[in-house]
Amino acid sequence: MKAEHVKDDLSSILFTKEQIAEKVSELAQRIDHDYQGRDVLLVGVLKGAVPIMADLMRQLDGQYPMDWMAVSSYGSGTKSSGVVRILKDLDTDLHGKDVLIVEDVIDSGLTLSWLRTNLESRGTSSVEICALLRKPEAMKTSIDVRYVGWDIPNEFVVGYGLDFAEQYRNLDCIATLAPHVYE
C-alpha cells in the first residue's frame, strides 16, 4: 500500500521503501561479514518482523535457516505492558547455535530483553539482535543490540510490518501515525 492511500492517517514519512531497501542491504553485509562460516539461526519475531526478515534473507549471501516466535506485550494498545506471553514458540532446537533475533522495532526493550534471556537459557552459543528501528527515548532497560538500522524518536510508527491494531503493516514506507488515529 502506498502512503498516499492513507495520507490523512499519517503525520510524516520517516523512511521510503528505497531507504529501507538500502538499509537492509547494509545490515545484511555486516551480518554476512560477522557470521561467515558459522551456524546461524535467524529468529523472526512475528508479526512485525516478516518484511525485514524476508528482505534480509534475500540480501544475505550465506545459508541462514530461520524460525519464528510470536511474543506479545502489547495486546491491542500502543504501549508495551512489560508482561511477555509466548504465543508461538520455536520449532528448532537451539543447542549450540548462534541465534540472531530479527526484530522490526525496539521500544521499551523489555520484551526483547526477556526474549534474549529465554533463548540464551536454551543452550545457544550466542544470541544477538538485529532491529530495523530503535527508540532510545522509550528504552526502559539497557539491551545490547548488535545491528540497528535507525534510531528514531519515540513516536508511534507504522508500515513495513509495523502496525496499529493490525492495520498499516503493508504500507511500503515507515511513517508516524497521526495521533487522531489512535487517541
Pairing of strands 40-46, 66-72: parallel
Choice among 32, 107, 144, 151 that is catalytic: 107
The reply to whether omega before 2 is within 30° of 0 (cis) is no
- As a whole number of angstroms, the distance between CA 44 and CA 64 comes to 12
Place of cell 561479514: 33
Q: How far is CA 33 from CA 76, 154, 155, in A?
A: 38, 31, 32
Query: Is 91 noted as a catalytic residue in this protein?
Result: no
- As a whole number of angstroms, the distance between CA 16 and CA 35 comes to 28
Q: Which residues are catalytic?
A: 107
